[in-house]
Amino acid sequence: MSTDFQWVTADVDVTKTSDGSLILQNKTPLASCPANLSDWLHQNANKFPDKPFLQQRDEQGEWHGPTFAQTLAAVNRLSNGLVAMGLDAARPIAILSENSINMAIIQLAAMQVGLQVVPISYAYSARSQSGSHIKHILDVTNSAILVMSNADVHMTKLNQWDTGDLQLYAFSNSQSHTNVKPFEDLFDESETLSTESQARFDAVTPDTLAKIQFTSGSTNLPKGVKVTHGMMVTNQVGVAQMWPFLNSNDTVVDWLPWNHTFGGNFVFNMMLMHGGTFYIDHGNPTPMGLSTTIQNITDVSPTIYFGVPRSYTSLYAHMQKNDALKQAFFKNLKFIFTAAAALDQVTYESIKAISAEASGKPVPFFSAWGSTETAPDSTLVYWEINDARVIGLPIPGVSIKLAPDASGKQELRVKGPNVTSGYYNNEIATAAAFDPEGYYRTGDAGKFLDPDNPAAGLIFDGRTGEDFKLTSGVWVHNSRLRNSINKLGQPLLLEVVIAAPNREYLTAMVFPNLPVLRGRFAEASQASPDDAEFLQSEAVIEFFRDVFKQHNATQRGSSSRFERFTLLTAPPQIDKNETTDKGYINQSAVLNHRADIVDKLYAESLPDDVVVINAE
């Protein structure tokens, strides 16, 4: 761990408005920012020409990748090729790929000459049954070109419909498809920008559209968020002002998908700005991908680690029995970062303790809060904290409004240069996204950790849209209850979905972690190879019944105690927006698409797969 770690003192201006809202602003003004995101690539290619920028494993499992100078040369060649094709900002370039060096190059090449990219989730092809989300995104954006990774993987989806004049290119296996050209055909020979390309580079302003990033959606199809150069660069500059310990020696091993804002804007752009090295991790914190992530961490020993709570729950479980992983993880680590959901306090404290054991000093845990619409960071932890719930305070240039909500919570709303102007080709959604003062309505709730000390930071207080009332009129605060069940049930469950609005009492649908459950209950697993039968075995049912009993023992009232639950045999479906490729479970979509299961939970005559928690 670095011995020259620099803390910044937490400080914030708080103003109360006439309607009872609180306005929060960082006292540090935002520093100057470049107009073009790719300015940082050009600067680092000049400062660190031979320093590795992007690394990924080849077919033999060896790390390889371009230096900053080599990245710039490839990006310039591709920019020249795109400009020579006559492409303009009227029609974007869609990209359907897992994280890769080629994906980074096509994004940077397009954006630096004023063309916008549309990164499409790889899961919409590889994990989807229909590919319907891909078609929706292509229809909304009217993209001119689609660049895909492996044509053999993606063309099975794309061949289902008429793609019109969409030009198709692929990183690999283009030769197997008559309508797909090789990615290499897009490149020009010159490694310096042509006169026209340079003119387009110089014409980029903070308001130039760089990306259209599609949110996962709820019960509706995903919306395309307009992300500009200014949104991304001001975000990174504001973060850097609060994190002065970032530098060109930083190394990350990261799996977060680049079609999402966390991985694609926050982590990638941070390495781009500071001249760090990005090791692309093709693993993830799922039972299937974790071994790859562990191997990559062990090989690289990153200086910063970014993840969602599930990352740390999984890694901590393995660190307890894998000393090589523990030593490699903490060897060079300056800090750990978590976002996208709340990390439970037990895991938070356990990882800090194990970091002290490995490195002699607890490694700081940082967090933040934001969304695709805020590119993504709005609040940031930049001081030492001891509570995992803290999501920080506004970064420079950003204003946060805590607006009273009907549920009794306060909605977090955002204004600043990092905030989108709206949704691509969706005026109705755009109009609904902002309040009369121009603050973006996030639908997230927040409050001060200590109301008497705003400098202690904000904590996340759930989604206002996910809270609901029982028939008694009492509010149910969804996030708090889910966090309690998830904490008690980890790692044997993936997520719990709480049902349901306008009912007399609470019930729950549980997505079980089947591989871990089968490992824990080996005898029942051997006796029941069928998943549905296994989930109804006495050992499994009693485990989850005990989880809910433990929760209920600490709760009072119908708005926080569960009466029944069921274990879901069908995993969350990405085609139905029930999950994202980061593993986030969309509560509203699950309730909508599994309404028949909700009805069973409240039936007078209970089916066998509905469990009464306090049955005598």
Q: How far is CA 461 from CA 1, 99, 158, 341, 351, in A?
A: 32, 32, 41, 11, 23
Ranges in the chain, pLDDT < 70: 1-4, 216-220, 581-583, 615-616
Tell me the HSE value of 551 on the side-chain side, using a 13 A CA sphere. Answer: 30
| Gap between the Cα atoms of 505 and 612, Å rounded | 12
User: Which of 204, 229, 245 corresponds to the end of one domain?
Assistant: 204
User: Which of 162, 186, 204 corresponds to the end of one domain?
Assistant: 204
Residues 6+ away with beta carbon under 8 Å from 429: 223, 422, 423
Buried b or exposed e, range 362-372, using 16+ CB within 10 angstroms? bbbbbbbbbbb
Beta strands in 183-312 (DSSP E): 209-214, 224-228, 251-254, 277-280, 304-307
Q: How far is CA 479 from CA 53, 327, 558, in A?
A: 39, 34, 16
Query: Nearest to residue 281, comparing CAs of 329, 231, 313, 240?
Result: 329
| Gap between the Cα atoms of 136 and 222, Å rounded | 8
pLDDT at 199: 98
Q: Are 352 and 312 in contact (CB under 8 A)?
A: no
pLDDT at 430: 96
Main-chain dihedrals φ then ψ at residue 553, nearest 5 degrees:
-65, -20
Main-chain dihedrals φ then ψ at residue 143, nearest 5 degrees:
-60, 145
For residue 254, tell me if it sits in a domain. no
For residue 580, tell me if it sits in a domain. yes
Segments in 343-385 forming alpha helices (H): 345-359
Q: How far is CA 345 from CA 282, 349, 384, 451, in A?
A: 28, 6, 15, 20
| Gap between the Cα atoms of 403 and 520, Å rounded | 45
User: Which of 183, 204, 225 corresponds to the end of one domain?
Assistant: 204
For residue 298, tell me if it sits in a domain. no
Predicted TM-score of the model (pTM): 0.86
| Per-residue tokens: 228 | 């500009």
Query: Nearest to residue 159, comparing CAs of 134, 186, 123, 182?
Result: 134
How far is residue 563 CA from its own chain's centroid? Answer: 33
Instruction: State the burial class of residue 95 (Cβ atoms within 10 Å of its Cβ: 0-12, 13-18, 19+).
Output: buried
Domain count, the chain: 2
Per-residue pLDDT of 75-128, as tens digits, reads 999 999 999 999 999 999 999 999 999 999 999 999 999 999 999 999 888 878
Q: Please report, for the domain that includes residue 187, its CATH number.
A: 3.40.50.980
| Gap between the Cα atoms of 149 and 153, Å rounded | 8
Q: Are 255 and 310 in contact (CB under 8 A)?
A: no
pLDDT at 582: 61
Q: Which domain holds residue 520?
A: 468-612
| Gap between the Cα atoms of 578 and 134, Å rounded | 16
For residue 539, tell me if it sits in a domain. yes
Cross-strand pairs, 510: 496, 567
Q: How many residues appear in the chain?
A: 616
Considering Cα of 539, then 589, then 499, then 476, what sign does the dihedral take? positive
Q: Strands 440-448 and 224-228: what pairing?
A: unpaired
For residue 595, tell me if it sits in a domain. yes
| Gap between the Cα atoms of 598 and 607, Å rounded | 12
Q: Are 559 and 474 in contact (CB under 8 A)?
A: yes
| Gap between the Cα atoms of 473 and 383, Å rounded | 40
For residue 87, tell me if it sits in a domain. yes
Tell me the HSE value of 237 on the side-chain side, using a 13 A CA sphere. Answer: 23
